[in-house]
Structure 1
Amino acid sequence: MPGSQLGTAAAQRFTLNLSILFTELPLLERPAAAAAAGFTAVELWWPWVDSPTPEPAELDALKRAIEDAGVQLTGLNFYAGRLPGPDRGALSIPGAESERFRANVEVVADFAESLGCKALNALYGNRVEGVDPAEQDALALENLVFAARAADRIGAILLIEALNKPESPLYPLVSAPAAVGIVDKVNQAAGLGNARFLMDLYHLSMSGEDLPSVIERYTDRTGHVQIADNPGRGAPGTGTLPLADLLDQLWKAGYEGFVGLEFKPGDRPSEEALAWLPRAARAAR
């Protein structure tokens, strides 16, 4: 797929995920690398996989790296355990993990506010053997409402994402309807209306969903979109997904948000894995 076609379809609203791209560099060097590659917007998973509350000096250093690079942080995950790795969130896991998530919420909100970031992503969490799923769901709703209030305090939205069953077999939200159902529950319980669906086209395709139908049904509930090709979760053009057509459909349906590039570069430098996208299409407008 020609990169110029995808750039046109996405209306030049790309944001680069620095937790999966440019990982050949130390974290603090990645914002500058994204800027050097022509991007003006970046997003991140929670960078400290073992620490929901890192030292202020670590937060300050990342903030300076983003500001010095001149890029905008457009999305940030709450603490979710080991990503990449076996963990898929913490907020529905009773005990220490749930407590770590709650300790992380205000840290994330304050950091996001300091950089003008307006989208915070909360991964639901895996099912735990021996724990009643209903207990996990009740805990998840409580913690998601807590997160929605923190997001609302800084004028941000709370994103809720569907993953996919083959790669995340213990994660309960593996379809668009399941994730949107949680969005509705959070909005009803919190009374804020700031929860939105994170539409990851790679994950949804891995789950076998009809992507044009998902776009038609849920664009008006969507706060962020992420893409990678399938199979392989590689760069656009390495698989079979008609990403240019899908993004074009999204824009025609009224989506005006960012499109996160969340693909694996493979065994080549990230800059080479971005060659499909002309530099003129990389700056978010």
Structure 2
Amino acid sequence: MSHPLRHTVNCSLLFTELPLLERPAAARRAGFSAVEFWWPFVEAVPPDRQVEAFVTAIADAGVQLTGLNFFAGDMPGGDRGLVSWPKRSSEFRDNVEVTVGIGERLGAQGFNALYGNRDNAHTEAEQDELAVENLALAARAAARIGATVLVEPVSGADQYPLRTAADALAVIDRVQAAYDVPNLGLLADLYHLAVNGDDVDRVIAEHTDRVGHVQIADAPGRNEPGTGTLPLDQQLSALAAQGYDGWVGLEYKPSTSTDESFAWLPYERR
């Protein structure tokens, strides 16, 4: 790995052999200084004591929280976000304040707003209009702490409409045209983009300036780098050369134990 970018460990996919609140300290022991999470609670507005325990676990571990997903529904059950989902839009809006509040306390700079699956009870136009409103609302809240709202193309969810970088950028363009919020960025997950058949090299060449965060896993399999065929090192080097200086989220499923799955990354580069 020859690029100069820093790594952050996604503790929702890594260290799952440990209870959630023990994972930040495990990341620190493995040599990392930063972590990111999907929404770590069961509901959109968890009890205060759960929020306090989460904040404390990260602070006590001595790692930075780089990013957090907004509440996305029941991810194991197939939900992929509430942003465009009329029935659950109010849950998303209630969650924005909690998420940004955690981010403010821990210095998180990116909040991933999963768009949501298509819902047959509403037209696509209605869902897209709602998503624009909700993303603008989230972006205004994040702007108060100088943070960015991220929009992510996703693979493996047939009803999720954002599949390519162009899909996500079109949504961001629409929000920015309607509400004049500058702090929206593309979450470029190189695994999802590749699996969906996007031209990742072209995305990097043309849109690095719009990338708010990067995540990686190898394909096929979504395991650690080196287990598949993606040219991740080359692509990260290209992102850096194009001016990306943010974090690279390790968002993969370890093929062995989590600690063994870091063998591709020398300790001093973590």
TM-score under structure 1 length normalisation: 0.93
* AA of the residue aligned to 1:272: E
- Name the CA distance, whole Å, in 2 between partners of 1:155 and 1:126: 29
1:130 has 2:121 as partner: yes
Match of 2:72 among 69, 73, 80: 80
Greater alpha carbon shift after TM alignment, 180-189 vs 97-106: 180-189
1:280 counterpart = 2:248: no
Partner of 1:33: 26
In the alignment, structure 1 segments of 5+ residues that lack a partner are 1-5
Which residues in structure 2 correspond to 1:177-192 (within 5 Å)?
A: 177-192=166-181
1:269 aligns with 2:257: yes
SS in 1 for 2:154: coil
Q: Which residue of 1 aligns with 2:6?
A: 13
Partner AA of 1:21 in structure 2: L
Q: Does 1:160 align with 2:148?
A: no
Q: Distance in 2 between matches of 1:183 and 1:38?
A: 35
Residues 1:107 and 2:112 aligned together: no
The structure, 1 or 2, with the larger RCO (C-alpha pairs under 8 Å, 6+ apart) is: 1
Tell me, yes or no, if structure 1 residue 243 matches structure 2 residue 246. Answer: no
What is the CA–CA distance in structure 1 between the aligned matches of 2:47 and 2:55, rounded to whole Å?
13
Whole-Å Cα distance in 2 between the matches of residues 85 and 231 of structure 1?
Answer: 22
- The one of 55, 62, 68 equivalent to 1:63 is 55
Gaps of 5+ in 2: none
Matched-pair contact (CA < 8 Å) for 1:12–1:281:
no
- How many angstroms apart in 1 are the aligned matches of 2:215 and 2:75? 16
Aligned to 2:86: 94
Q: For residues 104 and 188 of structure 1, what CA distance do their matches in structure 2 show?
A: 24
Shift of 1:272: 1.0
Q: Secondary structure at the match of 2:229?
A: coil
Contact 1:127 1:171 in 2 (8 A): yes
Ranges of 4+ aligned residues in structure 1 off by more than 3 Å = none
Mark the CA change 1:84 to 1:13 in structure 2 (over 3 Å): closer, same or farther. Answer: farther
Residue 157 of structure 1 and its aligned partner are, at CA, apart by 0.7
2:17 corresponds to which letter in structure 1? Answer: E
Quote the sequence identity (%): 54
Code of the residue aligned with 1:117 in structure 2: it is: A
Q: CA RMSD in A?
A: 1.0
Distance 2:190 2:178 in 1: 28
Partners of 2:202 and 2:83 lie apart in 1 by: 30
Match of 1:22 in 2: 15
TM-score by length of 2: 0.98
- In the aligned structure 2, how far is the partner of 1:270 from the partner of 1:187? 39
Shift of 1:12: 4.1
